[in-house]
Structure 1
Amino acid sequence: MTDREKAARPEDLTRLFVERANAGDAEGIALLYEPDAVMAYPPGRQTVGRDAIRRLWEQALPHMPAFEPEEPLPTLISGDLALTSTPPKDGSGARAQVVRRQPDGTWLRVLDQPEFITQRE
């Protein structure tokens, strides 16, 4: 078990991700995902499963700059599913996640699209 904070609301997941990424806590990031979650990262690929997500962040975090908090857009909730999204501060597209309410009332990511890159003309 872990004593890490859990997401009481879907929007908490983004804040917790930023906090854990900036702390270099790859395991803590992975715990924000369901065991079979799918993340569309690195660009052009998919990372499937909590263990693979943890391994990806263990490798990536030491080489990344600090993450900046981003203000979430309004969350869409339908029953135990929610869609969360944030516009990146650099204006380079969008981020979106499908999250699910867990039996204890907390939320975890199921699908994570951390980058939608828009084509600029």
Structure 2
Amino acid sequence: MTQRKIAEHPHQIAACVAEFVKDGDMEGVLSMFHPDCRVAMDPDGAPMEGHDGVREIFQDFVASRLILKPSVTGEMINGDTAILQGEWTIEDHDGNIVGGGVSTEVTKRMDHGGWAYFIDCPIRVPRPVRS
């Protein structure tokens, strides 16, 4: 059995996700997200939660093996937690941009020593909920 690639540093997570999407490897994509993660793909809607939410978000990208082009523009690490800022685009196989955004992510070091997304806001951070 081959060991799956891990992100040894927080800024490597996006490149790993891009590689797994390109390879059509959903389990690889899931391995880059903490099991208790929250993803705000639609910043005006409810965040998706856990691996089920990640699977729903990425199913079409992985099935189509789209080309994710991430760029990490900022990183700050504090122990086993880090925050990242980045930019990304998704291209089809003809080079057409089919999506993109400016992202903010909180990452956590996993038990295996690699890093994974814990909070992922690929478009923008949602507005605060006022009570």
User: What TM-score do you get using the length of structure 2 for normalisation?
Assistant: 0.72
- Percent identity between matched residues is 24
Moved >6 Å (runs of 4+): none
Q: Is the 1:34–1:109 contact (alpha carbons within 8 Å) kept by the matching residues of 2?
A: yes
- The Cα RMSD (Å) is 2.6
Q: Is the 1:30–1:51 contact (alpha carbons within 8 Å) kept by the matching residues of 2?
A: no
Match runs of 1:74-89 below 5 Å: 74-88=74-88
Match runs of 1:1-80 below 5 Å: 3-42=3-42, 44-45=44-45, 46-62=47-63, 65-68=66-69, 70-80=70-80
Whole-Å separation in 2 of the counterparts to 1:42 and 1:27: 23
Aligned residue pairs, count = 115
- Structure 1: where are the runs of 5+ without partners? none
Specify which structure has the higher proportion of strand.
2
1:104 corresponding residue in structure 2: 112
Does residue 95 of structure 2 align to residue 94 of structure 1?
A: no
- Structure 2: where are the runs of 5+ without partners? 90-96, 126-131
Whole-Å separation in 2 of the counterparts to 1:25 and 1:11: 20
User: What TM-score do you get using the length of structure 1 for normalisation?
Assistant: 0.78
Q: Is the 2:22–2:68 contact (alpha carbons within 8 Å) kept by the matching residues of 1?
A: yes
